[in-house]
Chains A and B, each alone.
Chain A
Amino acid sequence: MLNWLSQISAITFANLKTLPERRGAALAAAVGIAGVVTVLVGVLSIAEGFQRVLAVSGSPDVAIVLRSGSDTEMNSGLTHDDTRLIADAPGLARNAANLPLASAELFVVINLPKRSTGTDANVPLRGVSPAAFDVRGNLTLLEGRRFEPGKNEVMVGVGAARQFSGLDVGRTVRVGQTEWAVVGVFTAGGGVAESEVWTDAAVLQPAYHRGDTYQAVYAKLISADAFHTFTDALTTNPSLSIKAMRQSDFYAEQSTLLVGFVKGIGITIAGLMAVGALFGALNTMYSSVAARTREIATLRALGFGSSPVVVSVLLESLALALAGGVLGAAGAWLAFDGHTTSTMNWQTFSQVAFAFRVSPALLVEAILWAAMIGVLGGLFPAIRAARIPIAAALRET
């Protein structure tokens, strides 16, 4: 066993020492693998970043109530009476004044120019009830103040403020017939609310001729376990036709479509590139073995086994692949991590701001891809190396 390892290390040493002489091909192979890793990490970091925004948006002890049969707030509708019944359901947390923490909300989509391109894109404008701040729990003002109830004032999420022009404290934005004064900028723990603009529901209703209707109720539960008490009470009430979901489940569901799509694209492109990189690695390793045929035959003549030859060729290929993988991962991390952008959330037809997220797990996944390419690219050349007929190879000088 010990001398098996020393055989491997001797052959691997000889292989790696000749790398500089073969640096052209070796570099090409490593760069090919680096490219695969960069694309993979880049694209998947979009999915991760988006997923993360939606993941931190949802809390298991907050319930979202929509009209039965609707999947999103967009196509939901609740009457004033509905929202009263929901707020009175058991299981809801209450504030110091013993009022239930339930926020009846409505939701319109407005158009604003993007700072980056100047073109218009959709931004959600959300009308909330006073309880909304306690229901969300993680809203913090970065600048300015909250909107005042009854006034045409908005506060904007930090993501929206960054992506769209005009959303600065002190300015007014004109949407349709209405002017809105921007009075504050808030964060929401990195969640989707940061991509929204908030105002008083009672002001938004008349501005958009919504009468006294809402689209959703956001309700804070006593605990995550109280969800069932809460939903049971609502669904057994014959005068209500609603459906309730945990906020965490709601957002997880919202993200699946886009995340699945982005991941699919990322893996397809990276997969195609991986095939190319695999041929590069194969080519490099075949020529590496060919260049050292006589050396390998000499070592075998001295009594070296064939398995150390196999292992050392695999190790060389793996070393090349990992070098490429680390290079690509580092490049992707530097280029993409934290890069903020926004995209369409297809469930709300509005923009969600998020940051590319190059997570450690993603880097590990990418390096594993590189290692796979390395092992596959080294395997057949390694087998060829082990099968070199000793006597015949020694004749070739």
Chain B
Amino acid sequence: MTTDQSPLIHLTGVDKTYRRGSEEIRVLAGLSLTVQRGEFLALMGPSGSGKSTLLNLLGGLDRPTKGAVEIGGERIDALTDRRLAGWRARHVGLVFQFYNLLPVMTAERNVELPLLLTPLSRAERRRHVATALAVVGLRDRTNHYPRQLSGGEQQRVGIARAIVTDPTLLLCDEPTGDLDRKSGDEILSLLQTLNREQGKTIIMVTHDPHASARASRTVHLDKGQLSAAAPA
């Protein structure tokens, strides 16, 4: 990606409309957003306001109906599906509310998945996986299957999977939404550490003011537009 001075993310005039039968729902309406490198941005808003939709556009999982999505100087909305998949593998780490781990694989193998898309050797992959699991504090859970782990531990495996390729950008969709307060706090601290110590740019969708308090900036999504104002 280009020089550190330029913003990492630049969205301009982004529209996203979904079609449901004959009805068109305009979820994002001329939305603009700029995120600097190293920011920890909390994205809040009512349920159904389009937070996940926006996150999907930022992660290259979906395309805007209109407008430009520029990340690291690249117009990712203009990439072909194939190149977009490669771009995701190199530049983004995704963290899901329900972890989305493969139940038939151990923690180690789940974390290894994104590395299968790289030319790394088996031994190198093992090393990277060990490092990522150490970062999230799960060194001793390497050979556990998801069902043998608590929710908080599963989410940490999810975060290890997101950071194992060392991407610049972490996109987290309600990462604490399914966790109790204590586990949620641990996850938030982990994200904060990744942001501060490893310089990851993080965008986190959350409902929880407690969670957004950990971010360096909070934006609100409502009626298809973003605002910095605090909610009532």
Contact = CB atoms under 8 A, between A and B. Distances in A.
B61 A304 contact: no
B85 A303 contact: yes
A10 B98 CA distance: 21
A209 interface: no
A305 B61 CA distance: 13
Contacts of B82: 305
A395 B85 CA distance: 19
**Is chain B's interface secondary structure helix, strand, loop, or mixed overall?**
helix
Nearest to B97: A397
A303 B119 contact: no
A294 interface: yes
A114 interface: no
B60 to A, nearest CB: 9
Contacts, number: 68
Interface string A245-267: 00000000000000000000000
Q: For A2, A295, A305, A390, which residue has the most chain B Cβ atoms within 10 angstroms?
A: A390
A391 interface: yes
Interface in B112-155: 113-114, 116-119
A17 B90 CA distance: 28
B19 to A, nearest CB: 12
Contacts of A294: 100
Interface residues of A, number: 25
Nearest to A5: B116
A236 interface: no
Contact of B117 (A18, A303, A394): A303
B108 to A, nearest CB: 13
A287 B102 CA distance: 18
B52 interface: yes
A298 B109 CA distance: 14
Interface in B72-89: 81-82, 85-86, 88-89
Interface string A1-25: 0110011001001100110000000
B89 to A, nearest CB: 3
Contact of A301 (B59, B105, B118): B59
A256 B226 CA distance: 81
A302 interface: yes
A89 interface: no
Given A300-B85, A302-B114, A304-B85, A14 B105 contact: yes
Nearest to A298: B100
Contacts of A14: 102, 104-105
Given A6-B116, A390-B61, A303 B89 contact: yes
A306 B53 CA distance: 22
A371 B219 CA distance: 55
B56 interface: yes
Interface of A: 2-3, 6-7, 10, 13-14, 17-18, 294-295, 298-306, 390-391, 394-395, 397
27 contacts: A2-B119, A3-B116, A6-B116, A7-B117, A13-B104, A17-B104, A295-B102, A298-B102, A300-B85, A301-B59, A301-B94, A302-B88, A302-B89, A302-B114, A302-B117, A303-B85, A303-B89, A303-B117, A304-B113, A304-B117, A306-B85, A390-B61, A391-B56, A394-B56, A394-B96, A394-B100, A397-B98
Given A301-B61, A303-B88, A391-B62, 14 more contacts: A3-B117, A6-B116, A13-B105, A295-B100, A298-B100, A299-B102, A299-B113, A300-B85, A302-B88, A305-B82, A390-B62, A391-B53, A391-B61, A397-B97
Interface of B: 52-53, 56, 59, 61-62, 81-82, 85-86, 88-90, 94, 96-98, 100, 102, 104-105, 109, 113-114, 116-119, 161
